[in-house]
Amino acid sequence: MADPTPPPPPGRATSSSAQTAAAATSGSATQGAASQDAPEYLTKDMLPVHMIRFADHITADWIRGRNDIDTTSATMTQIDNKIAYQYALYVELSMKFEGLRRTFCEDFEYWTLEMWMRASTRTRQAMRDLLTDNAIHVGGGPGRNSIAVGLHNVVAQYMHGDSQQEEEPQESKSKMHFNEQGDLVTDDGNERKTSFQQDLESQQEKLAGMTAKLEAALDITAKLEAAHLDNSNPKQGSSSKTSEISTWMPSSFEAIGISEDQIRRCISDIGKLYKDSDKYSGERYHFMSRKFETFKDRCRRLSIPP
């Protein structure tokens, strides 16, 4: 029995085949548009050696990142491209330390914290490490947000903190206020009960005490040296005692006007005066050292422990 439905004429399509073709065309068009919209990220072999950390995060547009980008509409890829461009510029120009800090802050002055937040972790890490390697403290702890905050703070502190410090008068930091009695008044209104006059008197007392102790030591040493010198000079009718100079000692300290109590007190005072901070340098030490060593040598020969 013949098919009652005749075949369609050549060159014409049925409604079902048209729908199928339309669907196929639409699908292929969608895939083509999607492939065009997806950025083509660069791989390691497409980048210079110093830029391989940016692989799979930036596109070929990074090389044209000289101009500023829109802070409101920039995508992550655009932000990463901009960071990569500036990073490459700093490395290729061999920027270091304060010069790098100044240029980085001027380049990213217009960036908000949100801009840094929208950048990928890898690009932020690369910029942070470059700054850190040049003694620029980024701060912040571990984590994506901390790196973004640290980079933003570097710029903020340079553009606002440093300039503010320069504008402030230097004397304001050390400016002090005193009441009628000469007591120091702090910024919170509290008084420190230590006047300049009291401080001055205290320092004068300490200086006078130190001077007296040093003079006592010098006086004792001078008497020892005078007695030693007198003994070393040959007297009339006697032979020279040059060979005995290094070993001569008086029969007693009292014979040359020095008591053993004076010697012990002098040694104790000198020991208290000399601290490690000033013991090994300065003219004061070189002057006193010679006197003191002579003094200790005389004490040692009389079995008085120095």
H-type alpha helices, 93-169 = 97-107, 113-118, 121-133, 144-156, 163-167
What is the arithmetic mean of pLDDT over 193-203?
67
Do residues 150 and 58 both lie within one domain?
A: yes
Where residue 177 falls among pLDDT bands split at 50, 70, 90? Answer: low
Number of domains in the chain: 2
- Sheet strands (E) in the chain: 177-178, 183-185, 191-195
What is the arithmetic mean of pLDDT over 62-89?
94
Do residues 220 and 139 both lie within one domain?
A: no
Do residues 157 and 87 both lie within one domain?
A: yes
* Residue at which a domain ends, from 141, 164, 187: 164
Domain limits for position 124: 44-164
Domain assignment of residue 6, yes or no: no
250: tokens are 């008086």
Contacts of 61 (CB under 8 A, 6+ apart): 78, 81
Tell me which of 124 and 247 has the higher pLDDT. 124
Where residue 251 falls among pLDDT bands split at 50, 70, 90? Answer: low
Question: Taking Cα atoms as reference points, which of 220, 222, 225, 214 lies closest to residue 285?
Answer: 214
Do residues 70 and 152 both lie within one domain?
A: yes
Integer Cα distance of 85 and 213 in angstroms: 71
Where residue 208 falls among pLDDT bands split at 50, 70, 90? Answer: confident
Domain assignment of residue 10, yes or no: no
Domain assignment of residue 211, yes or no: yes
- Classify 177 as helix, strand or coil: strand
Do residues 159 and 211 both lie within one domain?
A: no
Domain assignment of residue 22, yes or no: no
* Residue at which a domain ends, from 164, 190, 213: 164
Domain assignment of residue 174, yes or no: no
What is the arithmetic mean of pLDDT over 135-161?
85
Domain assignment of residue 79, yes or no: yes
Integer Cα distance of 235 and 245 in angstroms: 14
Domain assignment of residue 295, yes or no: yes
What is the arithmetic mean of pLDDT over 85-89?
96
Range scoring the smallest mean pLDDT among 107-116, 119-128, 175-184:
175-184
